[in-house]
Amino acid sequence: MEYRGAVLDVDGTVVRGDEPIPGAPDGVRRLRSAGVEPLFVSNNPSKAPPAYVRRLSRAGYDVDVDHVVTAGTVSTAYLERHHPDDSIYLVGETGLARQLREVGLSLSSDPSVADVVVVSLDREFDYEELCAVQWALEDDDVRFYGTDPDVVIPAAERNVPGSGALINAVVDVTGRQPDAVFGKPNEPTRRAIFERFDYDPGDCFVVGDRLDTDIALGNEAGMTTVLVRTGVTDAEALANAEIQPDYVLDSLAGIDRVLDGDS
């Protein structure tokens, strides 16, 4: 099969921390030489595309802002479209707050006036903030959103809690499920991908280290799916999972197997 586009996860797939995963830069170059356009898609909401360009460039990847989609950009676009005049109470880091403010969205530190609560990665999240979110969501008219579902994310030294862990804490204390979660594998991110890719999903594949986000994204969109063993999914998790990829590679360095259709 001749592919035209490749959706590439970032953390655990092409980099860990700021370092390239061995062989992955060569894998991306191999994609380009085969005429496949890479799109880097991350569930990290805290960095805007220009920051990703700098990070990936330092790691040896040739990328521009038009080929980066993040949970932050998807969340910002959704909120700008559906809640342009609402007051937003954000559990999140300064990078996400900056993205929201840059498009004119209004953030409030007072949960009592919130129209919308957004829960995201926040390494300073504490009991006091959990109380504030609980009180804000006692009003059923306040909308509740999560930026992405990643409970655990690959970091430089070892895996750490992600946005999904904070979202789950809020769900536990409020009894409310989010009205929407924006990152992979959910529809807002799928839409953002194919706003960038003018390709049929059947002409694309997705490469990632997570079954519940990357592989689920590909399955739901109709793309070929490729799991790499360089991130959070180990052999036991793969063997016991309901979601299964079309290909399993040790790393992105083995992408020729997908390009050649060698199952």
What tokens appear for 31 in the block?
A: 């994609």
- Among 11, 122, 150, 214, the active-site one is 11
What type of residue sits at position 238? Answer: L
Phi, psi values for residue 231, rounded to 5°: -125, -125
- Among 9, 148, 212, 214, the active-site one is 9
Look up residue 22 and give its DSSP letter: T
What tokens appear for 208 in the block?
A: 């990632």
- For residue 236, what are the CA distances in angstroms to 52, 53, 233? 31, 34, 8
Yes or no: say if 257 and 245 are a contact pair by the CB < 8 Å rule: no
Whole-angstrom Cα Rg for the chain: 18
Catalogue the E-assigned strands of 2-80: 5-8, 15-16, 19-20, 37-42, 68-70
Identify whether 9 is a catalytic site residue: yes
Rounded Cα–Cα distance for residues 235 and 229 (Å): 8
Collapsing DSSP to helix, strand or coil, 258 comes out as helix
Catalytic residues: 9, 11
